[in-house]
């Protein structure tokens, strides 16, 4: 998917000397929900990313342990606990801090360039992402209120489900606070792209590292629309039935993991990887790297819906350009029409919640 990210991880594991990475721009990344199933491996991956100079880990419980653990990795990011005296600081390194409890949320957020939110409850077998709405909507609303106060200019990477509703909730919270910038709010749909690439590579028998598949729409069931007609490298080996099966598997990828985990949560490791890939792309965009393109659920005019996932070019201010859908197959056109009703009502549900609470 992102050979460069894998390379960072491999280099970080090999290298003893981080002097070259130290030359990168100073960037602070905060993870909210850092002690959870996604938060922990995501903290590890962000600790290995040389673009991160300061890593702030926040959760309502358990963060000091995660921060202490991650802090022992000899990569540039320096881990500090709160209170800071708990752990030695390494001069010249970047910082990783662990925060716990609402009173420390402000300190965790201040100065952040990117805030990643995997806070909330995951699905259990038989649940849809929408079943999480009642708990996660309130969590996201509280965290976004704090973001608007302490780091209103940060890029926000929303992982908490249902993404189709939590992103509109965040937008409404920021609008109310007068800090909304549509270029800086992202629903993380990268895991759908990761899955589409993996499943396509397996079926088309092409090297997975070379595969690209845009995934558009939203992040739940039929709202996830992989565009296999635009997949590269192109494959003539796939029948219409194969494409239908690949589409269904991508849409049900989350449920496949939820059922395999049998009550112990949803995707965490692959999600942490996907979250790290997307955050890395945001950081590269902020640092002025040209032509950084990822799919994301953002404010959009690509369809009549106010939010929609499609390819997005990332730049120094967040979204530089929301790219269109390109040529769709008849099957994809049908999928697009079929997803609009559900996506519209999930967006409206989020907006309604934000206004009512
Ligand atoms: P988890 O239950 O293992 O971890 C969630 C963490 O959030 C816990 O450590 C909890 O203490 C923390 N938390 C709860 N309320 C908080 C608050 N107010 N402030 C800060 N932290 C808080 O759950 P997991 O597996 O890490 O999943 C997290 C979320 O990510 C879920 O909503 C899940 O549905 C979603 N998800 C999203 C995916 C995507 O593709 N966007 C894929 C997989 C999961």
Q: CA angle, corner 132, sides to 131 and 134, nearest 5?
A: 95
Angle between helices 240-251 and 330-356 (to 10 degrees): 10
- Closest residue by CA, ligand 1 atom 28: 118
Q: Does residue 44 sit in the same domain as residue 172?
A: yes
pTM summary value:
0.92
Alpha-carbon distance of 17 to 9, in angstroms, equals 14
Alpha-carbon distance of 352 to 347, in angstroms, equals 9
Alpha-carbon distance of 223 to 234, in angstroms, equals 24
Does any domain span residue 57?
A: yes
Q: Does residue 308 sit in the same domain as residue 326?
A: yes
Residue 12: the pLDDT is 46
Domain that holds residue 36: 28-80+93-188
Over range 21-38, report the average pLDDT: 83
Does any domain span residue 85?
A: no
Secondary-structure percent of the chain, ordered helix, strand, coil, rounded to 5: 50, 20, 35
pLDDT tens, residue by residue, 177-233: 999 999 999 999 999 999 999 999 999 999 999 999 999 999 999 999 999 999 999
Does any domain span residue 114?
A: yes
| Residues in the ligand 1 pocket, defined by CB under 6 Å | 32-33, 35-39, 58-61, 118-123, 132, 136, 139, 142-143, 159-161, 163, 188, 191, 219, 265-268, 271
Query: Would the pLDDT of 334 be above 70?
Result: yes
Residue 18: the pLDDT is 39
Residue 8: the pLDDT is 55
Q: Does residue 145 sit in the same domain as residue 291?
A: no
pLDDT tens, residue by residue, 261-272: 998 999 999 999
Q: Does residue 40 sit in the same domain as residue 115?
A: yes
For 299, list phi and psi in degrees, rounded to 5: -60, 135
Judged by DSSP in three states, 36 sits in coil
Residue 78: the pLDDT is 64
Residue 76: the pLDDT is 83
In this structure, what CATH number is given to the domain that contains residue 213? 3.90.110.10
Residue 212: the pLDDT is 98
Q: Does residue 61 sit in the same domain as residue 183?
A: yes
Helix (H) or strand (E) holding 5: helix 3-14
ipTM rounded to 2 decimals: 0.99
Alpha-carbon distance of 342 to 351, in angstroms, equals 14
Alpha-carbon distance of 230 to 313, in angstroms, equals 17
Residue 9: the pLDDT is 57
Does any domain span residue 109?
A: yes
Token look-up 């800090």 returns 179
Residue 139: the pLDDT is 96
Alpha-carbon distance of 259 to 263, in angstroms, equals 7
Report the domain count for the chain: 2
Closest C-alpha to 58, from 108, 94, 107, 112: 108
Alpha-carbon distance of 51 to 71, in angstroms, equals 16
Alpha-carbon distance of 293 to 308, in angstroms, equals 15
Residue 103: the pLDDT is 77
Does any domain span residue 21?
A: no
Do the beta carbons of residue 105 and residue 148 sit within 8 Å?
no
Residue 15: the pLDDT is 45
Instruction: Give the least confident one: 11-25, 95-109, 126-140, 335-349.
Output: 11-25
- Closest residue by CA, ligand 1 atom 5: 36
Residue 63: the pLDDT is 87
Last residue of a domain, one of 188, 214, 232: 188
Residue 4: the pLDDT is 59
Residue 90: the pLDDT is 34
For 302, list phi and psi in degrees, rounded to 5: -65, -35
Strand partners, 59: 100
Angle between helices 190-204 and 253-261 (to 10 degrees): 90
Do the beta carbons of residue 113 and residue 29 sit within 8 Å?
yes
Q: Does residue 262 sit in the same domain as residue 274?
A: yes
Alpha-carbon distance of 238 to 349, in angstroms, equals 38
Banded pLDDT at 11 (limits 50, 70, 90): low
Last residue of a domain, one of 134, 163, 188: 188
Last residue of a domain, one of 172, 188, 204: 188
Do the beta carbons of residue 203 and residue 246 sit within 8 Å?
yes
Higher pLDDT, 84 or 119: 119
Start-to-end CA distance of the chain, whole Å, equals 39
Ligand 1 binding pocket mutation candidate from 120, 277, 295 (most atoms within 8 A of CB)? 120
Residue 279 CA to ligand 1 centre (angstroms):
17
Residue 313: the pLDDT is 98
Higher pLDDT, 316 or 88: 316
- Closest residue by CA, ligand 1 atom 15: 120
Alpha-carbon distance of 352 to 313, in angstroms, equals 30
Q: Does residue 198 sit in the same domain as residue 158?
A: no
Q: Does residue 197 sit in the same domain as residue 180?
A: no
Higher pLDDT, 9 or 37: 37
Q: Does residue 67 sit in the same domain as residue 201?
A: no
- Closest residue by CA, ligand 1 atom 4: 36
Does any domain span residue 61?
A: yes
Q: What are the residue numbers of the active site? A: 219
pLDDT tens, residue by residue, 276-292: 999 999 999 999 999 99
Query: Would the pLDDT of 339 be above 80?
Result: yes
Banded pLDDT at 92 (limits 50, 70, 90): very low
Residue 19: the pLDDT is 40
Residue 323 CA to ligand 1 centre (angstroms):
29
Token look-up 């939590």 returns 166
In this structure, what CATH number is given to the domain that contains residue 169? 3.40.50.720
Residue 199: the pLDDT is 98
């Amino acid at each position: 998917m992102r050979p460069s990210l894998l390379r960072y991880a491999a280099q970080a594991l090999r290298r003893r000397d981080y002097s070259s990475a130290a030359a990168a721009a100073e960037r602070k990344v905060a993870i909210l929900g850092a002690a959870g199933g996604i938060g922990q491996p995501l903290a590890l991956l962000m600790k290995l990313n040389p673009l991160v100079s300061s890593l702030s880990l926040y959760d309502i419980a358990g963060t000091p342990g995660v921060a202490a653990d991650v802090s022992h990795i000899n990569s540039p990011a320096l881990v500090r606990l709160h209170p800071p005296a708990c752990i030695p600081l390494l001069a010249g390194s970047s910082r990783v801090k662990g925060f716990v409890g609402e009173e420390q949320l402000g300190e965790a957020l201040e100065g952040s360039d990117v805030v990643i939110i995997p806070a909330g409850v995951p699905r259990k077998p038989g649940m849809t992402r929408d079943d999480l709405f009642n708990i996660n909507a309130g969590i996201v609303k509280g965290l976004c209120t704090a973001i608007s106060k302490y780091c209103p200019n940060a890029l926000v990477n929303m992982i908490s489900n249902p993404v189709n509703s939590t992103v509109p909730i965040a937008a409404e919270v920021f609008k109310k606070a007068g800090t909304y910038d549509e270029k800086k709010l992202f629903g993380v749909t990268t895991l759908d792209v990761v899955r589409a690439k993996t499943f396509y590579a397996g079926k088309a028998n092409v090297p997975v590292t070379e595969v690209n598949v845009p995934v558009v729409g939203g992040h739940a069931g039929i709202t996830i629309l992989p565009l296999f007609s635009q997949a590269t490298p192109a494959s003539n080996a796939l029948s219409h039935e194969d494409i239908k099966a690949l589409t269904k598997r991508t849409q049900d990828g989350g449920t496949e993991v939820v059922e395999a985990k049998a009550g112990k949560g949803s995707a965490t490791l692959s999600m942490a990887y996907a979250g790290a890939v997307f955050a890395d792309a945001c950081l590269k965009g902020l640092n002025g790297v040209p032509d950084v393109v990822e799919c994301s659920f953002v404010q959009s005019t690509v369809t009549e819906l106010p939010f929609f996932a499609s390819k997005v070019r990332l730049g120094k201010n967040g979204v530089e350009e929301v790219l269109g859908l390109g040529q769709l197959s008849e099957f994809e056109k049908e999928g697009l029409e079929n997803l609009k009703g559900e996506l519209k009502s999930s967006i409206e549900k989020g907006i309604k919640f934000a206004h009512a609470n």
